[in-house]
Amino acid sequence: MFQKARIKLTAWYLLIIMLVSIVFSLVIYSGINRELGRFERLQELRLRREQELMMPVPFPNEFHDANSQAVAAARMRLTLTLIFINVGILGIAGLAGYFLAGRTLKPIKEMVDDQNRFITDASHELRTPLTSLKTSIEVNLRNKKTTLNQTKKLLASNLEDVEYLKILSDGLINLTQYQNPSGNVIIERISVREIVENAINKVKTIALENKIKINPKIANLEIEGNKKSLVELLVILLDNAVKYSKQNSKVKIIANKIDKKVVLTVSDEGIGIGEKDLPHIFDRFYRAEESRSRKNVSGYGLGLSIAKKIVEIHKGLISVKSEKNKGTTFTVTL
């Protein structure tokens, strides 16, 4: 589809450029042709005057023919030169137009490809819980001897699937909002310590359940940003740190000022991230093999994608360093 669009756009570029080139060529030809005609008339006038003054002109007819032939040859050279130039412009414009058409369509192609991947990934992730719901309900409907206790178990199982669907839909909505903020992000002066405290309060329960201690070390700093999204960013990083940490370990969150920038780091002593997974952890729906193998870890791989979008909205940078079975450190520079 985009190849056809690229060719069509190139054709439009060529049409416009060649129309301009041909118009300029006609103007140039017309101007030079007028000068050649003027030169030819002046030569004829000079010849007549010399004849009127009875000045001897050797072979006047041959002289006139030579002038006419020289002017005709000049016109022919001019025509050929302009044709050659236009053919050259056609070739160069074709290559340049094809290149520019590709550059013009590239952002649109990337956006469409991203949307298609989003739809495909979301459909794939939605299919699993929906299939589970459908299968369990159909099986129990066919069973005419279903007891009340079995029905309760079915409802409890279905409720879990519904909860997973809610988590997925909330994540998709958040990701879409941060992908297309539409200027609705309110930027204000906020305390970094306040952001960190709010984020810690939101993950405190899961940290206690996993017997993990969160150690904050926050300098008294202020930053310009959106409070709600920055709290969500830290919640995502802290939640990941807690989920992938060993029991009775620590999670550290540090905020410092370096070269007029606020640098936030979230470090854990967990299972770490494999080297092959590191380049993909910010991809939508991506989950490392270690996270898939842990039964107590839920999620759809949207958190870090959302975190990256939040950082990008704030024109910051996010990076990660990790070592297997030693821990992971996420660094956010704002």
pLDDT value for 321: 92
First-to-final CA distance of the chain: 40
Cα 178 to its chain centre, rounded Å, is 13
Residues comprising the chain, all counted:
334
Q: Where would I find the H helices in 210-257?
A: 227-243
Average pLDDT along the chain: 80
Sign of torsion over alpha carbons 26, 32, 38, 40: negative
Radius of gyration of the chain (CA): 38
> What residue ranges of the chain have pLDDT lower than 70?
47-48, 50-67, 121, 124-125, 167, 179-185, 286-301
Question: How far lies 198's CA from each of 24, 232, 244, in Å?
Answer: 68, 9, 21
pLDDT value for 56: 54
Q: What is the enclosing helix (H) or strand (E) of 333?
A: strand 327-333
Q: Tens digit of pLDDT for each residue in 32-46?
A: 888 877 777 777 777
> Distance between CA atoms of 292 and 321, rounded to whole angstroms?
20
Taking alpha carbons only, the member of 265, 270, 258 closest to residue 217 is 265
Question: What fold characterizes domain 188-333?
Answer: Heat Shock Protein 90 (3.30.565)
Q: Tens digit of pLDDT for each residue in 84-119?
A: 888 888 888 888 888 888 888 888 887 777 777 777
Partners of residue 265 on adjacent β-strands: 254, 331
222: amino acid identity, one letter: E
pLDDT value for 50: 62
Partners of residue 322 on adjacent β-strands: 328
| The model's pTM | 0.59
The DSSP bridge pattern shows strands 250-258 and 213-218 to be: parallel
Q: Enter the tokens of residue 31.
A: 């101007």
> Distance between CA atoms of 109 and 118, rounded to whole angstroms?
14
